[in-house]
Structure 1
Amino acid sequence: MVPGQRRGTAIAMSHEERDAFLRGSPVCRVATVGPGGHPHNGALWFVWDGTDLWLNSLVRSQRWTDLARDARLSVLVDDGGFEFLQLRGVELLGRAEVVGEVPRKGEEVDELRSPERLFTEKYGDFRYDGRHAWLRLHPEKVVSWDFGKLRA
């Protein structure tokens, strides 16, 4: 049984499948708790280090404002096609933690060496633009699904 996976264990991804899926997916959707408790969703590039999800976010954004007020977030990474059996995804829930300077300008931060290297490997040259900063999500709950497993 996958920790956090209460239902649908037959379609849950293994740890290896989940890690490969998260490493290879280009975009995630990040949901924060907005004003009045309403959700705010936005797409972001991200990297997965096998334990934590790293988000490189604009610091002058609704997302950043929301997280300063309430650090809870839900991140969805999914893909699929027009057929039900092609649907697969991972949802990660937890609290965002700011790592490094805000905004990021290039100060040496040991914790950011790995995510910045992974980001460069995934998306190309990583540059400090003085507008973004790093958020780390150490998931409290992870749920995955791959409806293609129903074929068996």
Structure 2
Amino acid sequence: MAIGDYDVLARASRALRSAPEPGWAAIEQRVLDAVRAAPRGGWPIAVHDPAPDTAPGRIRVRAPGRIRVSDLVLRTLIARRVTEDPDVALVDVEVTLDGETLRTIDIEVSGRFGSDLPRAADRVRAIAHAVVADAIGADDVVVSVAVTDVHR
């Protein structure tokens, strides 16, 4: 099975659902909890410190440490903020990195039928820029927003 071969996965899922495993009901919640608790790796994004070595009480060092934020954290922060907008439903958030430098954010949303979709996309873009500025201090990240569907 190739990566992204969702038809095969869908057929297998249907087959497995049609023949439930004996005893599954007794362990289902524990399995789901274990999957949810499993650590997920993410790609590190460098945080921009606008004024290094200026924190109160900090001793100057020759090689200061570096702070990084996982792309999973950044994507989650963006997703939480975007879901507050009543005119859009989030579909996906993808980031593109160059090493540890965030280059682009691609956001896909579904727009509410009858709403001003260009304005909604502008709000989503502004939200993403605000989250990036707050989380990693970058202001040169390209954010693209695609409205790929409409909903009621």
- State the TM-score, normalizing by the size of structure 1: 0.29
Pick the structure with more helix per residue: 2
Give the structure, 1 or 2, with the largest relative contact order (CA under 8 Å, sep 6 or more).
1
Name the TM-score, length of structure 2 as normaliser: 0.29
Higher Cα radius of gyration: 2
